[in-house]
């Protein structure tokens, strides 16, 4: 947007989704900043009514909320995913939407392999059994109650070949794994990098999800897909909860169609007590973490730094990391 001496109003709707230890660098342009720890759905419209720039992580900005903000010119998403933002309405309004990119290329793959190692070697199950006195009961130097498998020589199926999927594959290859990148479900001819989706399901010992959530990937894995997993793989999901049909996952885990599951995401978040995944927590081959795969201290600080950079670039008239709204640049000029 064009330089202006008129202070811009910036509203952060959910600051509590970024750790309190994370430093948000002050914005350099004239502005007022209104920060909310959390924002309920019924509070959004009022809080952004006179905002020029809205910072949001997981709060929904739908058509109704955006219509209540006539001055809105930028949505700065404090995350990579943008499925909580109505991008179509933003495009129609000329609102720039910028997201965060590349900040989690270390932390998410590390969390993926933390889950893989824990499940593949039954770390949690053995720890809990030691706590329960099983070692003393065994009366020898070790016992073999739970399976332990090496990663070397196994097949890692990666669904999603972006930055995170590629990083996960690189670690897998370093550990001696065969890595397959799944083609889009129902598509062929995507190139040498990709293996047909059905073949990846059939041949993987471990499956890990790194694709976006959209109309094509909603419930990407359901009853039919679990039935096609011939090698009874571990399933890892650090992407979006709705990529998997939770009821089908629970049934597959209990029936032995898969050998274990490590999840960092659910729908909704947090899951209610009666959620089907909550009923799996006592199983030795199931791990659920509270959407923290992205949340190393280093990664969150990188996210916060990039968030400020995105806003600064927009105000300078050079928007970056743009999802929608700045195709010709005209929609960002002359607006205070």
- Local confidence band at 325 (pLDDT 50, 70, 90 cut-offs): confident
Between 36-45, 153-162, 167-176, 181-190, the lowest mean confidence (pLDDT) is in 181-190
Structure confidence by residue, pLDDT tens digits, 94-121: 999 999 999 999 999 999 999 999 999 9
Q: What whole-number distance in Å separates Cα of residue 54 and Cα of residue 255?
A: 46
Q: Catalytic annotation on 47?
A: no
Structure confidence by residue, pLDDT tens digits, 254-286: 999 999 999 999 999 999 999 999 999 999 999
For 8-101+297-332, which CATH superfamily applies? NAD(P)-binding Rossmann-like Domain (3.40.50.720)
Torsion, Cα of 240, 241, 242, 246 (10° steps): 160
- Closest-CA residue to 185 (of 236, 240, 222): 222
Q: What sign does the CA torsion over 23, 24, 30, 35 have?
A: negative
From the candidates 240, 247, 312, 318, which is the catalytic residue?
A: 240
More confident residue, 329 or 312: 312
Fold match flag (8-101+297-332 vs 107-288): yes
- Local confidence band at 2 (pLDDT 50, 70, 90 cut-offs): low
What residue spans define the domains of the chain? Answer: 8-101+297-332, 107-288
Average pLDDT of the chain is 94
Q: What is the pLDDT of residue 315?
A: 97
pLDDT(328) > 80: no
**Three-state DSSP class for 236?**
strand
Q: What is the pLDDT of residue 42?
A: 97
From the candidates 43, 92, 269, 318, which is the catalytic residue?
A: 269
Bond before 293 cis per omega within 30 degrees? no
- Local confidence band at 330 (pLDDT 50, 70, 90 cut-offs): very low
Q: What is the pLDDT of residue 6?
A: 86
Sheet containing strand 96-98, edge to edge, reads 31-35, 8-12, 53-56, 74-77, 96-98, 322-324
Q: Catalytic annotation on 223?
A: no
- Residue whose token pair is 């000029």: 333
From the candidates 291, 298, 309, 320, which is the catalytic residue?
A: 291
Give percent above pLDDT 90 in the chain. Answer: 91
**Cβ-based burial of 145 (10 A; exposed 0-12, middle 13-18, buried ≥19):** exposed
Q: Catalytic annotation on 218?
A: no
Q: What is the pLDDT of residue 334?
A: 28
Q: What is the pLDDT of residue 180?
A: 98
- Closest-CA residue to 257 (of 232, 221, 285, 283): 232
Structure confidence by residue, pLDDT tens digits, 50-97: 999 999 999 999 999 999 999 999 999 999 989 899 999 999 999 999
Structure confidence by residue, pLDDT tens digits, 290-307: 999 999 999 999 999 999
Pick the CATH number of 107-288 from 3.40.50.720, 3.20.20.100, 3.40.50.300, 1.10.3720.10: 3.40.50.720
Per DSSP, what are the bridge partners of residue 97?
Answer: 75, 324
């Amino acid at each position: 947007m064009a330089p202006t001496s008129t202070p811009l109003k910036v509203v952060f709707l959910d600051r509590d989704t970024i750790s309190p230890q994370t430093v948000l660098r002050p914005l350099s342009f004239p502005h007022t900043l209104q920060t909310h720890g959390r924002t309920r759905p019924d509070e959004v419209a009022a809080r952004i009514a006179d905002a020029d720039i809205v910072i949001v992580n997981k709060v929904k900005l739908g058509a109704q909320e955006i219509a209540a903000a006539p001055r809105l010119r930028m949505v700065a998403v404090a995350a990579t995913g943008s499925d909580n933002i109505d991008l179509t309405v933003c495009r129609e309004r000329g609102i720039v939407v910028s997201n965060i990119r590349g900040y989690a290329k270390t932390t998410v793959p590390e969390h993926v392999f933390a889950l893989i190692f824990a499940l593949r070697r039954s770390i949690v199950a053995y720890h809990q059994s030691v706590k329960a006195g099983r070692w003393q009961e065994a009366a020898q130097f070790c016992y073999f109650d739970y399976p332990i498998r090496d990663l070397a020589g196994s097949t890692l199926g990666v669904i999603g070949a972006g930055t995170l999927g590629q990083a996960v594959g690189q670690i897998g290859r370093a550990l001696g794994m065969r890595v397959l990148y799944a083609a889009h479900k129902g598509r062929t001819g995507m190139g040498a990098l990709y293996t047909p989706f059905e073949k990846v399901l059939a041949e993987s010992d471990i499956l890990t999800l790194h694709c976006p959530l959209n109309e094509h990937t909603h419930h990407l894995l359901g009853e039919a897909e679990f039935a096609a997993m011939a090698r009874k793989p571990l399933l890892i999901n650090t992407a979006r909860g709705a990529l998997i049909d939770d009821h089908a996952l629970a049934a597959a885990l209990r029936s032995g169609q898969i050998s274990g599951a490590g999840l960092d995401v659910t729908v909704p978040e947090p899951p209610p007590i009666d959620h089907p995944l909550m009923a799996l927590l006592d199983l030795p081959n199931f791990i659920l973490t509270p959407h923290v795969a992205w949340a190393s201290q280093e990664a969150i600080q990188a996210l916060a730094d990039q968030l400020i950079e995105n806003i600064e670039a927009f105000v300078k008239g050079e928007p970056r990391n743009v999802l929608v709204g700045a195709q010709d640049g005209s929609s960002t000029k002359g607006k205070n």
